[in-house]
Amino acid sequence: MSSIIKILPDNLINKIAAGEVVERPASVVKELIENSVDAGATEIFVDVEQSGKRLIRVTDNGCGMSREDARTAFERHATSKISSESDLESIRTMGFRGEALSSIASVAQVAMLTARQGEPTGTMIAIEGGTLKNSGDAAAPPGTAIEINHLFYNIPARSKFLKSAATELSHIIDAVSHQAMARPDIRFRLTHDTKPVFDLPRSSGIRDRAFQIHGNELTENLIEFSGGRDSVRVYGLIARPTYTRGDRTRQEFYINGRFVKNAALSHALYAAYADLIMRDRHPAGFIFIDLDPALVDVNVHPAKAEVRFRNQSQIHDLVRDVLREALGSHGRPVRQADIGAADGGQGSADRVKEVVVDFLSSARAADGADTRTSPLRFDGPPLSGSLTARAELDRPISALLYPLAQVHDSFIVAQSNDGMALIDQHAAHERVLFEKLQDQYAAGQVPQQDLLLPVQAEFGRGEQGLLKEYLPELRKLGFLVEEFGGGTFVIKAVPALMTGADARQLLTDIVDELKVHGKSGRLDALRDEVLSVMACHPAVKVHRRLSMQEMAGLLEDLFACRMPHSCPHGRPTVARFSMDDIKRMFKRI
């Protein structure tokens, strides 16, 4: 019997590989730019026509190729970047599999002009459907220009899968933007149908590059951060919690300069913002992780768009912690002198505002007194909210943010040293209670208060199981709840901070929270959800008149918090108006 198994011809193998590596025009753009980056280019020009279907041309001023290399480059598995298996552990280049050029050349008409630095003549090569059509000497500037014409001309089926011109173009713009974000030191220019899309000059760093690509509105809301552990460095830009988006765009991760998607990293980003933004809003950030290439496998996806970490959960926790600290230490101590300097003109109004916020959050720490653990001072009969009442305060909040009045028994009006602020009293008090509960829990003892009369609460079948499972954790949170039978539970004690709350309603709300998050969440994330439910109960409601002392106490406690700017549900606690804002409202500037 004759054999029926045969080895596929190279051309066919390349075409099959192209199915994985070259999904759409943007994939070609990505691969070609990566080659230019690897060639050490400082300028990369990308020109596309008809969203890349008609033409993709990438021109660089990199190292170029010799005549011989120019031909070999299009062979399958031809690469100059690795030569042995051990090299796989230390990849610092974008490419290493030697697949891109051979794959691309098998599904398009390719022309390349390349010359090595310092060599007078270069090489011209033309390839069609994987077959060499032409090659020879040609005059060429140092570097490489490669032109991909009529992508997928020989696989019409693939052409049909392409999306609208606008969609394909947007993928191309994304591909160039990602590479540009990873390498601010390289100039990137993109044109479509000969019209400029952008031209990004070499810039001084990621903030500048973010500004060039994404403009001012996003960039002015980004906080720069950096941190790390051992040899892993995590740095970049993340949006202030007050700036959120309606979708997941502008959440970008770069591992050793490579744009990647990774579920653990996304999760870490959301975990960092957990109690800072509303559930249906999304954070933004450009997060860079540099680490030993041996700790990450980039060889798990044909286009290297996904990566796998050797120790996924360690990286997750590190990223979350670094981001968390950046968001929290947004209130890092600033001295009076710094504020003066920021006022001095070089800083924008925004920068000044930022410094004041920082100062306010740290002012109390600088005061030396620690009233964090003291209860809120809701004592004394409510005073009428008169403006002169400010004189009655024995000690204004470090003279930087002092209450002036209360509006509609719901919002506190306060003066800051560069303008004024409105504080949502309920949100502010929730934040204060939330962090107190967190601290008590972390210290291992949430003070408990026995109820004089135990309170009964009934739960349905599905809820009983959830609650029973959660009873030990509830105990740690300061509750004493026992099962009575028949779906009835008895609440015998509650956390001391919850004494004023309706115990039955509180437990019901916690169970509701367990229903929503109990199955998916990790225990620590779930705990914060429960703590935020708890904090909401005894928090000062809207429509409650506060005395000046109470307002001062609340502001003081709020700015002693780690994350004073939002309530645990992510709503803002403070709205600020600088004098400039106010003057602008009255057309004085």
| Contact positions vs ligand ADP (CB under 6 A) | 31, 35-36, 39, 60, 62-65, 73, 78-81, 95-101, 144
Query: Closer to Mg ion at the Cβ: 13 or 490?
Result: 13
Distances, alpha carbon 342 to alpha carbons 65, 68, 418, in Å = 51, 59, 12
State the minimum distance, in angstroms, from the CB of residue 77 to ligand ADP. 9
Q: Return d(Cα 546, Cα 569) in angstroms, integer.
A: 23
- Candidates 93-101, 112-120, 145-153, 155-163; binding stretch for Mg ion (CB under 5 A): 93-101
Sign of CA dihedral 385, 387, 392, 393: positive
Residue selected from 100, 222, 428, 533 as contacting Mg ion according to rule CB under 5 A: 100
Give the CA angle between residues 341, 344, 346 to the nearest 5°.
Answer: 100
Query: Closer to Mg ion at the Cβ: 82 or 480?
Result: 82
Indicate the residue whose CB is closest to Mg ion: 95
Query: Closer to Mg ion at the Cβ: 111 or 341?
Result: 111
60 binds, among ligand ADP, Mg ion, none (CB under 5 to 8 A by kind): ligand ADP
Residue 73 touching Mg ion (CB under 5 A): no
331 binds, among ligand ADP, Mg ion, none (CB under 5 to 8 A by kind): none
- Candidates 96-104, 245-253, 474-482, 525-533; binding stretch for Mg ion (CB under 5 A): 96-104
Query: Closer to Mg ion at the Cβ: 58 or 467?
Result: 58
Q: Pick from 7, 24, 124: which is nearest to 65 by CA?
A: 124
Contacts 24+ apart (CB under 8 A), 195-204: 197/173, 202/42
State the minimum distance, in angstroms, from the CB of residue 47 to Mg ion. 19
Residue 298 touching Mg ion (CB under 5 A): no
Burial classification of residue 142, based on how many CB atoms lie within 10 Å of its CB (0-12 exposed, 13-18 middle, 19 or more buried): middle
DSSP-assigned states of every residue in 78-118: --SS--SGGGGGG--SS--SS-HHHHHHHTSEEEEEEE-TT
Q: How many residues bind Mg ion (CB under 5 A)?
A: 3
Backbone angles phi, psi at 244, to 5 degrees: -130, 170
96 binds, among ligand ADP, Mg ion, none (CB under 5 to 8 A by kind): ligand ADP
62 binds, among Mg ion, ligand ADP, none (CB under 5 to 8 A by kind): ligand ADP
Distances, alpha carbon 91 to alpha carbons 29, 101, 207, 301, 329, in Å = 21, 19, 27, 15, 35
65 binds, among ligand ADP, Mg ion, none (CB under 5 to 8 A by kind): ligand ADP
- Candidates 87-95, 272-280, 343-351, 477-485; binding stretch for Mg ion (CB under 5 A): 87-95
Q: Which of residues 17-46 bind Mg ion (CB under 5 A)?
A: 35
242 binds, among ligand ADP, Mg ion, none (CB under 5 to 8 A by kind): none
81 binds, among ligand ADP, Mg ion, none (CB under 5 to 8 A by kind): ligand ADP
177 binds, among Mg ion, ligand ADP, none (CB under 5 to 8 A by kind): none
Query: Closer to Mg ion at the Cβ: 55 or 100?
Result: 100
State the minimum distance, in angstroms, from the CB of residue 51 to Mg ion. 22
Query: Closer to Mg ion at the Cβ: 62 or 95?
Result: 95
Query: Is the separation of the CB atoms in 319 and 304 below 8 Å?
Result: no
State the minimum distance, in angstroms, from the CB of residue 34 to Mg ion. 5
What tokens appear for 34 in the block? 């990566």
In DSSP terms, 44 is beta-bridged to: 60, 188
Query: Is the separation of the CB atoms in 537 and 569 below 8 Å?
Result: no
Q: Please name the residue that has the structure tokens 């109390």.
A: 364
Indicate the residue whose CB is closest to ligand ADP: 95
Residue 95 touching Mg ion (CB under 5 A): yes
Query: Is the separation of the CB atoms in 371 and 557 below 8 Å?
Result: yes
State the minimum distance, in angstroms, from the CB of residue 41 to ligand ADP. 7
State the minimum distance, in angstroms, from the CB of residue 29 to Mg ion. 12
State the minimum distance, in angstroms, from the CB of residue 55 to Mg ion. 20
Query: Is the separation of the CB atoms in 275 and 570 below 8 Å?
Result: yes
Query: Closer to ligand ADP at the Cβ: 299 or 348?
Result: 299
Query: Closer to ligand ADP at the Cβ: 105 or 539?
Result: 105
Query: Closer to ligand ADP at the Cβ: 63 or 363?
Result: 63
* Helical pair 165-182 and 25-38, crossing angle rounded to 10 deg: 20
State the minimum distance, in angstroms, from the CB of residue 123 to Mg ion. 18
Backbone angles phi, psi at 454, to 5 degrees: -55, 150
Query: Closer to ligand ADP at the Cβ: 97 or 214?
Result: 97
Q: Please name the residue that has the structure tokens 């007194």.
A: 369
Q: Return d(Cα 31, Cα 148) in angstroms, integer.
A: 12
State the minimum distance, in angstroms, from the CB of residue 80 to ligand ADP. 3
Query: Closer to ligand ADP at the Cβ: 31 or 358?
Result: 31
Query: Closer to Mg ion at the Cβ: 80 or 221?
Result: 80
State the minimum distance, in angstroms, from the CB of residue 64 to ligand ADP. 6
Query: Is the separation of the CB atoms in 148 and 28 below 8 Å?
Result: yes
Query: Is the separation of the CB atoms in 425 and 412 below 8 Å?
Result: yes
State the minimum distance, in angstroms, from the CB of residue 253 to ligand ADP. 22
State the minimum distance, in angstroms, from the CB of residue 150 to ligand ADP. 20
Q: Return d(Cα 275, Cα 530) in angstroms, integer.
A: 11
State the minimum distance, in angstroms, from the CB of residue 94 to Mg ion. 7
What tokens appear for 51 in the block? 């969203």
Q: Return d(Cα 345, Cα 525) in angstroms, integer.
A: 43
78 binds, among Mg ion, ligand ADP, none (CB under 5 to 8 A by kind): ligand ADP
39 binds, among ligand ADP, Mg ion, none (CB under 5 to 8 A by kind): ligand ADP
Task: For the beta carbon of residue 260, count every other beta carbon within 10 angstroms.
Answer: 19
- Residue by residue, what is the 3-state secondary structure of 353-416? HHHHHHHHHHHHHHHCCCCCCCCCCCCCCCCCCCHHHHHHCCCCCCCCEEEEEEECCCEEEEEE
Query: Closer to ligand ADP at the Cβ: 40 or 487?
Result: 40
Contact residues for Mg ion (CB under 5 A)?
35, 95, 100
